Structure 1
Amino acid sequence: MIHLTDLAYVRIGTREMDAQLDFAQDIVGLELIKREGDTAYLRADNRHHCVAFIEGDEVGTLAHAFTLAGPEELAAAAAELEAAGLQVHRGTVDEAQARRVRDFISFVAPGDNRVELVIGQVHVESRPVRWSRPAGITEFGHIGIEVPDVMEAHGFWTKHFNIKVSDWIGTTACLTRFDPVHHKLALFRDVTGLAHINFQVESIDDIMRSWHFLEDNDVEITMGPGRHPQSTAVFLYFKGPEGHTWEYSFGVRLIPDDDAWTPRYFDPSEPDFIDMWRGAVPAARRRAD
């Protein structure tokens, strides 16, 4: 069993670096901590970065990453994944430096998404985040990834990792956790790629202020403000350059006792299956089994 300890970062390929950085700073509110060659690093908490944009011909998610405890855990993870028939890449010194980690491995998970497992992620504890706008962000919250077969992806993650299912939305979405937060990894049935990047904010007031801010700046809001019945979080989803979806949320449910929690099933045909306030939901999220 591979024990994930936290989210690390998302690496995204782009042909529109300037547009991505303008949006990430001026709209999302992240700090551009460094631009180095073809890579730009964006910060939201004590991690050196949570989002890295890499300029080039490859557009879209290059990898999403999780942290492990140390070298022994990294070696054991590589051995388990190889025993499961996966091809594991050992990161080079230069590749690790580019990711601001001590060491890492990578592999392609079922659904064709590249995953990186890292140790020794660089943290910047002594410097407060220099927010480019006051969005109220407190941390990099979770990621949503798209997979062609949610059941296959669920089987892989729960078999090999300390991943537990919090809730199901039909069989088109599976919300999972590896710590008390309701979900850190959300699996959605769709083409391969990144569904969204989530940032937690300090209050519901931050959600509402950002809602008006996004509208005033002609940003496409794809869903929200609303409240998820699964996690109880108040949410706001919006689109950035090259079609990437960003999310703010507040008030996520904690599940401190795994044994006391039973995953629930939410039917996409119900009017409030994803939003307790019954706001407009994109058609892609309403697809039944």
Structure 2
Amino acid sequence: MTAAFRPITHLRHVGIGVPDYGKALEFYKNIWGLQPVADDSGVTFFATPADPEQYVLRVRQDQDKRLDLIAFGVNSPEEVDELARRLAAGGITLDREPDKLDTPGGGYGVRFFDPDGRLVEVSAGVAQKPFRELEERESVPKKLSHVVINSTDVAATKAFYETYLGFRLSDWLGDLMCFMRSGTQHHILAISRAPSVSLNHISFEMRGIDEYMRGTGRLMRAGHRPLWGPGRHGPGDNTFTYFLDPNENVVEYTTELETIEDEEAWEPRVFDSTSPQSQDQWGTGGSMTETMLPVLLKQTDGGLWTPSPI
């Protein structure tokens, strides 16, 4: 498998299944700041006004709390076909062969399971929607920033995304978490060591520091106490505030994520996972172990190795 095949352009959307569908819709629309753009029986697609992607989050009613899928974009249908060919050559069973998509925006895509059993979709040719620049002080998500997944074998999961999807390593946090990129953004995917396979968190980019803080304040005024934050991470140099949604998924507001402009010159760094400065440069969020880590350690995923019904 050649490292020259680097098809992934960006993170399109994340799909989740939730037992309490009504509370999830209320949270993401009226508190988190996303816009419902399409819905069907038991599924709603949420977008942001500033992103041409048709949607960045899909919420589906399910009896189990689960990660339905993570969706990435590529430039052409030919790259979708080439990816499918490489996966098949590597003995990876496809969940859905390359074909037209029937979700908002259409397009052409393929689905497969990563080594941990989570479903991944890669697509091209999805129609874009109208979008605009966010205004000053408009404290709603600008775009989907990144997704972090929990794995019992970080090295194997990392190798899969490098080998087949062309991801590159940006940095390590000790030997606990690796940060992976597909372009100049420091990471659109990170893989964290955990006792079980599950979703770690979904992160949304805000317009700037002021909008990030205003969004954080809106959540707090609505009675949602931060799990961790406000603060600024070492790896990625981005701001963070983490919250629990009504179904106990961890979601993050962030901004100012580091960019890597010189691909060839970049050397991955290893940040000390025990250093307070690595966890939070500002020192305002406290230690992750105090609040967020216990929540992450009890996360479970009811959808591993199971195709999404949509």
Note if 1:194 corresponds to 2:203: no
Select the residue among 151, 154, 159 that pairs with 1:150: 154
Q: Which residue of 1 aligns with 2:272?
A: 267
Residue pair 2:148, 2:202 contacting (<8 A) in 1 also: yes
Select the residue among 246, 250, 256 that pairs with 1:251: 256
Note if 1:81 corresponds to 2:87: yes
Q: Which residue of 2 aligns with 1:124?
A: 129
Distance 1:136 1:98 in 2: 24
Note if 1:111 corresponds to 2:131: no
Note if 1:13 corresponds to 2:17: yes
Structure 1 residue ranges without an equivalent (≥5): none
Displacement of 1:32 in angstroms is 0.7
Alignment of 1:47-196 (within 5 A): 47-90=53-96, 96-98=101-103, 100-125=105-130, 128=132, 134-190=138-194, 191-196=196-201
SS of residue in 2 equivalent to 1:69: coil
SS of residue in 1 equivalent to 2:276: coil
SS of residue in 2 equivalent to 1:241: coil
Displacement of 1:13 in angstroms is 0.8
Deviation string 1:193-238 (CA, Å, 9 cap, x unpaired) is 2211111111111122223222211113111111111211111111
Q: Which residue of 2 aligns with 1:32?
A: 36
Total equivalences in the alignment: 284
* Deviation beyond 4 Å, 4+ runs, structure 1: 127-131, 284-287
Give 2:78's aligned amino acid. E
Select the residue among 282, 285, 289 that pairs with 1:277: 282
Alignment of 1:220-231 (within 5 A): 220-231=225-236
SS of residue in 2 equivalent to 1:117: strand
Provide the aligned C-alpha RMSD in A: 2.3
What is the identity percentage for the equivalent residue pairs of Structure 1 and Structure 2? 26
Distance 1:266 1:183 in 2: 15
Residue pair 1:91, 1:103 contacting (<8 A) in 2 also: no
> Is the deviation greater in 142-151 or in 178-187?
142-151
Give 1:67's aligned amino acid. G
Distance 1:31 1:91 in 2: 31
Displacement of 1:89 in angstroms is 2.5
Distance 1:92 1:19 in 2: 34
Distance 2:133 2:208 in 1: 18
SS of residue in 2 equivalent to 1:221: coil
- Shift in alpha-carbon separation, 1:86–1:2, aligned structure 2, 3 A: farther
Residue pair 2:151, 2:197 contacting (<8 A) in 1 also: yes
SS of residue in 2 equivalent to 1:273: helix
Displacement of 1:162 in angstroms is 2.0
> Is the deviation greater in 175-184 or in 225-234?
225-234
- Shift in alpha-carbon separation, 1:140–1:245, aligned structure 2, 3 A: same
Displacement of 1:59 in angstroms is 2.2
Distance 2:239 2:201 in 1: 15
SS of residue in 2 equivalent to 1:63: strand
Give 1:244's aligned amino acid. N
Displacement of 1:181 in angstroms is 0.6
Distance 1:143 1:39 in 2: 20
Provide TM-score, normalisation by structure 2: 0.85
SS of residue in 2 equivalent to 1:143: strand
Deviation string 1:13-63 (CA, Å, 9 cap, x unpaired) is 112111111000111100011211221000022111111111122422110
